[in-house]
Amino acid sequence: MTPTTHRRGWLQAAFAATGALALGACDRITNAPQAIGFLQKAEGLTRRAQRLMVDRKALAREFGAADISSDFKPNGSIDPTDADYVALRDKGFADYRLVVDGLVERPLSLSLADIRALASRTQITRHDCVEGWSSIARWQGARLGPLLDKAGLKKTARYLVFHCGDSLEQTLDGSGQYYESIDLIDAYHPQTILAYAMNDAVLPVAHGAPLRLRVERQLGYKQAKYIMRIEAVDDFAHLGRGKGGYWEDRGYEWYAGI
Ligand SMILES: Nc1nc2c(c(=O)[nH]1)N[C@H]1C(S)=C(S)[C@@H](COP(=O)(O)O)O[C@H]1N2
Ligand SMILES: [Mo]
């Protein structure tokens, strides 16, 4: 039996059982053998779903101060030359605004002072780049979950897209601009922050100033630097080359969970 037919069979049985439940007294129905089977199966299903959720929600390992790498390598863009970014950087990011828009009830435009005033988290975590190196740093930033609640995600929102201020590749159509996307499970993960400090200092340009993502259950390329805008979307097929990120558009997996 294929999993689909099996599932369809189970769904039919479940429907019959709930239909019966709605009609009859609970005690009589729960004594019926088919109802007991239904309840046991429903419980097993919930447990499996819960296990999946718990795995995605588990915390990434955190380290001690002694583990912090003295040689954390900046990677990818390390000194963006895009005109808009350079103009912001040259004024010490005084004019910087993080835009939060798309499928939200209340679009936001936040200064760095606004962002520093939000609920924050500090964590010492390991960054794993697919190139095969890892480094540990202490990151401090605004928790993404509460920030999203401020904006109020619409029910249709499924992903967050991070639009970055740097182009890794100079192209005529702008498809060389860095961007990334994550789903709402990662967005609301307690260790997912918009970091403005690294190792107790203001986030350096090489590591993504003024704001970079730390999404600790994902590989390095998901850690968007130079974040300018967070857009809530139901689909990312219309962005870049449609795969949800700069490196995804060039063959990397969209889901880079670790
Ligand atoms: N905007 C932007 N974000 C980016 C990149 C980039 O080139 N531009 N490179 C990614 C990759 S592949 C890695 S490994 C990390 C590097 O972060 P680091 O510079 O702090 O080491 O940033 C990621 N985020
Ligand atoms: Mo990377």
Q: Is the CB of 209 under 6 A from ligand 1?
A: no
In a domain, 254, yes or no: no
pLDDT tens digits, one per residue of 93-139: 999 999 999 999 999 999 999 999 999 999 999 999 999 999 999 99
Q: What is the pLDDT of residue 61?
A: 97
Q: What is the pLDDT of residue 47?
A: 73
Range of the domain at 126: 60-244
In a domain, 235, yes or no: yes
Q: pLDDT band at 3, cuts 50/70/90? A: very low
Mean per-residue pLDDT of the chain: 87
Q: Is the CB of 129 under 6 A from ligand 1?
A: yes
In a domain, 70, yes or no: yes
Total domains present in the chain: 1
Cis preceding-peptide flag for 210 (omega within 30 of 0):
yes
Q: Is the CB of 207 under 6 A from ligand 1?
A: yes
Instruction: Look up residue 155 and give its two tokens.
Output: 């029910």
Task: Kindly report the CATH number assigned to the domain that includes residue 103.
Answer: 3.90.420.10
In a domain, 53, yes or no: no
Residues around ligand 2, an ion, CB closer than 5 A? 129, 220-221
Query: What atom in ligand 1 is closest to the CA of residue 220?
Result: 14
List CB contacts of 11: < 8 A, sequence separation 6 or more: none
Query: What atom in ligand 1 is closest to the CA of residue 75?
Result: 19
In a domain, 206, yes or no: yes
Distances (CA, A) of 61 to 19, 53, 64, 74: 46, 18, 10, 21
Question: Sign (positive/negative) of CA torsion 104, 251, 130, 202?
Answer: negative
pLDDT tens digits, one per residue of 194-232: 999 999 999 999 999 999 999 999 999 999 999 999 999
- Tell me the mean pLDDT in the region 13-41: 45
In a domain, 93, yes or no: yes
Q: What is the pLDDT of residue 31?
A: 47
In a domain, 161, yes or no: yes
In a domain, 69, yes or no: yes
| Owner of token pair 């490196």 | 247
Rounded-to-10 torsion of CA 13, 15, 16, 22: 140
Q: Is the CB of 225 under 6 A from ligand 1?
A: yes
Distance 221 CA to ligand 2 centre (A): 5
Distance 203 CA to ligand 1 centre (A): 13
pLDDT tens digits, one per residue of 52-67: 667 899 999 999 999 9
Distance 4 CA to ligand 1 centre (A): 41
- Say whether 108 sits in a helix, a strand or coil: strand
Q: Is the CB of 164 under 6 A from ligand 1?
A: yes
d(C-alpha 28, C-alpha 26), whole Å? 6
The burial of 215, by beta-carbon neighbours within 10 Å (0-12 exposed, 13-18 middle, 19 or more buried), is given as buried
Q: pLDDT band at 49, cuts 50/70/90? A: confident
Instruction: Look up residue 219 and give its two tokens.
Output: 């590989």
The burial of 218, by beta-carbon neighbours within 10 Å (0-12 exposed, 13-18 middle, 19 or more buried), is given as buried
Distance 22 CA to ligand 2 centre (A): 54
Three-state SS annotation for 117-149: CCCEEEEEEEEECCCCCEEEEEEEEEEHHHHHH
Distance 147 CA to ligand 1 centre (A): 23
Distance 219 CA to ligand 2 centre (A): 7
